[in-house]
Structure 1
Amino acid sequence: MPAGEMGGSQVKSAVRTVELLEFFAGRPGMHSLADVQSAVGYPKSSLYMLLRTLVDLGWVETDATGTRYGIGVRALLVGTSYIDGDEVVAAARPTLDRIADDTGETIHLARLDGTNVVYLATRQSEHYLRPFTRVGRRLPAHSTSLGKALLATHPDEKVRELLPERLEGLTEHTLTDREELIAELAVVRERGYAVDREENTLGLRCFGIAIPYRRPARDAISCSVPVARLTEAHEQLIREALFDARDRLSLATRHL
């Protein structure tokens, strides 16, 4: 929300601080003062003072010249504490370990955040050829099996409220028409799991299933496998492992 559109109960300096940190979190690397100002639109003098304050507190770092800015180590500490204190992540650990062992593939736990999914936990595949997704990564929900599994727990009208008519295409296979996506979500609801057919990363197929401890669901798990290694028998094993994991996590999170 731009600072000029704040409600009366919001403090301008706090809103600007959060917006700045979200700017850096979404754009890795170092950025000049001019680049930051162009993105956030704050007056240069007040932006500079806010940046210097965040640098002094460790939330923002500068390069050797002191003229370029990036996210600081304090943000990592807060992010880590979020993961460490999350009850779903803690409850899911044994199940994530089990499904990783059963499938031999990369397993993810992610949470819906607006129109994106954020990765909360991952188990890496035992194979040399494997995908890599770090905890904290944010991806568009419409291009992932995790996101589609979660969007499918919402009514179609809610999906229309969340997503624009034209969606970002990450690969040539991404669904970029909202109504086509909604039609696929109906299939997801019927069969109980979602599929990403190289829609986020070429050469990678993912299967995702929502954890129904809330309705609409907030969290989902997925299994990612290179298409070069995916056989019909292996796909069947993955689907069965995901349904088993969903049932286990439903029990593990029933108190949340």
Structure 2
Amino acid sequence: MSETAGVREVKSAARTVELLELLAARGDRPARLQELADELGVPRSSMYALLQTLVTRGWVRTDTTGSLYGVGIRTLLTGTNYLDSDPRVRLVRPYLDEASQKLGETVHLARLDGPDVAYLATRESHAYLRTISRVGRRLPAHAGALGKALLAERPVEELPAGPYEPLTPRTRTTRDALAADLAGIRARGYAVDREEGVTGIAGFGFALRYDTPAQDAISCSVPVTRLTPDHEAEIVTVMRETRARIEAATPPGGTVNWR
């Protein structure tokens, strides 16, 4: 049994979290009881009891036959509360609105979460060609402008050894290639993703340095078919200004220092 800060992990709580994470990772593919029991390595009877408890409380839902399971509405309500209670997200949202209106493109706020970034806010472009994004989406940090902007704020020694998962033919999959890119980001002051995370999409990411090291970043995503040199320069200018305004508006202290 693992320990955290000298406290033994509660097995039943860990199993509940693992189950919810497994169901969430399946997306629109509901799971059967035996699949879940096998995946988590627990007896079928124990899994059934856990599922029924979570169904009763709204954390898991089941179909009319009682044989398929997926995440329940309580997961959505809890996630929404996370966003509503986070002062950083509340502060940044209006600036995302302004940047999106100025540029006519999609802008994001994301937070580093282990090897990934999680999207916390998105303002979509009204143009016909739109990026694929949503709040709660996760992407490997090595494969996009948001993640690379945040990795560049950390020592190179903290990078995983690799190889890294390729999301497109342009994804950097080796530690040396990523480290070289991060060096350029530090010199330039922002990250660039040219179809590394999503084919056909370029991104420009800017770490928000109201925490040290930065945990959050903002970005602008644009279809490469719309990206001219002049538009790229405009995006960089507006996003730099947006970052500066957000950092200037962030009150010193006064918030919980979450780890």
Pairwise TM-score range, normalised by the shorter structure: over 0.9
Q: CA deviation at 1:254?
A: 3.8
Q: Is the 8 A contact 1:209 1:246 kept in 2?
A: yes
Q: How does 1:196-207 map to 2 (within 5 A)?
A: 196-207=193-204
Match of 1:11 in 2: 10
| Paired AA for residue 199 in structure 1 | E
Q: Percent identity?
A: 52
Q: How does 1:169-180 map to 2 (within 5 A)?
A: 169-180=166-177
* 3-state SS of paired residue (1:81): helix
Which is further off, 202-211 or 124-133? Answer: 124-133
Q: 1:152 and 1:39 mapped to 2: Cα distance?
A: 36
Q: CA deviation at 1:25?
A: 1.7
Q: Is the 8 A contact 1:165 1:179 kept in 2?
A: no
Q: CA deviation at 1:45?
A: 1.6
Q: How does 1:149-228 map to 2 (within 5 A)?
A: 149-159=149-159, 163-228=160-225
Q: Is the 8 A contact 1:197 1:206 kept in 2?
A: yes
Match of 2:257 in 1: none
Q: 1:185 and 1:97 mapped to 2: Cα distance?
A: 28
Q: CA deviation at 1:180?
A: 0.8
* 3-state SS of paired residue (1:37): helix
Q: CA deviation at 1:234?
A: 0.1
Match of 2:143 in 1: 143
Match of 1:24 in 2: 23
Match of 2:105 in 1: 105
Q: CA deviation at 1:6?
A: 5.1
Q: 2:216 and 2:38 mapped to 1: Cα distance?
A: 35
Q: Is the 8 A contact 1:105 1:125 kept in 2?
A: yes
| Paired AA for residue 19 in structure 1 | E
CA displacement 1:179-198 (0-9 Å, x = unmatched): 21011101101101101111
TM-score, with structure 1 as normaliser: 0.94
CA displacement 1:48-106 (0-9 Å, x = unmatched): 11111101111001122211110000000000000111101111122111111111100
Runs of 4+ in 1 over 6 A off after TM superposition: none
- More contact order relative to length (CA 8 Å, sep ≥ 6): 1
Q: Is the 8 A contact 1:92 1:252 kept in 2?
A: no
CA displacement 1:155-185 (0-9 Å, x = unmatched): 01112xxx24110001111111122101110
Instruction: Count matched residues.
Output: 250
Residue 119 of structure 1 pairs with residue 119 of structure 2: yes
Q: Is the 8 A contact 1:99 1:241 kept in 2?
A: yes
Q: 1:183 and 1:53 mapped to 2: Cα distance?
A: 50
RMSD, aligned α-carbons:
1.3
Match of 2:248 in 1: 251
Q: CA deviation at 1:132?
A: 2.8
Residue 89 of structure 1 pairs with residue 86 of structure 2: no
Q: 2:199 and 2:248 mapped to 1: Cα distance?
A: 35
* 3-state SS of paired residue (1:249): helix
Q: 1:215 and 1:155 mapped to 2: Cα distance?
A: 12
| Paired AA for residue 209 in structure 1 | F
Match of 1:56 in 2: 56
Q: 1:21 and 1:151 mapped to 2: Cα distance?
A: 28
| Paired AA for residue 125 in structure 2 | S
Q: 1:27 and 1:164 mapped to 2: Cα distance?
A: 27
Gaps of 5+ in 2: 254-259
Gaps of 5+ in 1: none
